[in-house]
């Protein structure tokens, strides 16, 4: 049974944040709110959690998992951002965007796209996520919580717990969030390609 951890959406209680962080450090899989729906998160090297995410979302090896970072400097440790796209990515973060970029050696191989060796990278604009990342002091392995057959991310913690009670270890509840998933921009070839339109405005990349 998943643990429900209630965290204030504007003033996260440190005790509750620490409880969620401890679940992650203990190898758990956590459903957490972001600025573009709920997501599933775990520590980067957690193979079991990655397999569980694949099972919950019914993903194949072409899916791009995401490295969720606290800030741009941390993001730069896990993906290669060349000068041509530096400004575009920096100006769009934090925000509801996921960028597909070449991964550095800091990213576990099992997270990478099977052929391209790329990974998603994201800096959410959400108080609770920022508090969680700050307490954890490392990025999260993550994937938007879109259930098989659905087009939108889940938005309410109580409903996530009801749906995935036996499949995740904790659910963070901090009020309803927007249903739109992140806008996904592929920068692998050096020019922006909109892979998925979501909560982030695509006009800046067109």
Q: Give me the domain span that covers residue 150.
A: 3-205
Smallest Cα–Cα separation from 41: which of 139, 128, 142, 114? 142
Query: How much is the pTM?
Result: 0.94
User: In this structure, are residues 79 and 119 in contact, taking their beta carbons and an 8 Å threshold?
Assistant: yes
pLDDT tens per residue across span 36-60? 999 999 999 999 999 999 999 999 8
pLDDT digits (tens, 9 = 90+) for 97-143: 999 999 999 999 888 887 888 999 999 999 999 999 999 999 999 99
Residue 55 maps to which CATH number? 3.90.870.10
Report the number of distinct structural domains present in the chain: 1
- What are the DSSP E strand ranges found in the chain? 3-6, 30-34, 37-43, 66-68, 97-102, 118-122, 140-144, 170-173, 183-186, 193-196
| Model pLDDT for residues 137-194, shown as the tens digit of each residue | 999 999 999 999 998 899 999 999 999 999 999 999 999 898 888 999 999 888 899 9
Q: Is beta strand 3-6 parallel, antiparallel or unpaired with respect to 170-173?
A: parallel
């Amino acid at each position: 049974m998943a643990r429900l951890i209630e965290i204030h959406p504007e003033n996260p209680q440190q005790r509750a944040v620490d409880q969620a962080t401890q679940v992650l450090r203990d190898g758990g899989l956590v459903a957490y709110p972001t600025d573009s729906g709920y997501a599933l998160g775990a520590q980067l090297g957690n193979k079991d959690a990655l397999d569980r995410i694949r099972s919950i979302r019914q993903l194949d090896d072409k899916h791009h998992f995401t490295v969720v970072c606290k800030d741009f400097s941390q993001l730069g440790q896990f993906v290669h951002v060349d000068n041509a796209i530096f400004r575009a990515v920096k100006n769009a973060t934090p925000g509801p965007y996921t960028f597909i970029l070449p991964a550095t050696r800091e990213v576990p191989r099992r997270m990478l796209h099977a052929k391209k060796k790329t990974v998603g990278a994201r800096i959410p604009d959400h108080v609770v996520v920022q508090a969680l990342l700050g307490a954890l002091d490392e990025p999260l392995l993550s994937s938007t919580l879109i259930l098989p057959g659905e087009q939108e991310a889940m938005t309410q913690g109580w409903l996530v717990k009801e749906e995935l009670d036996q499949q995740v270890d904790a659910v963070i509840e901090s009020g309803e969030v927007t249903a739109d998933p992140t806008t996904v921009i592929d920068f692998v070839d050096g020019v922006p390609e909109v892979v998925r339109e979501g909560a982030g405005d695509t006009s800046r990349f067109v």
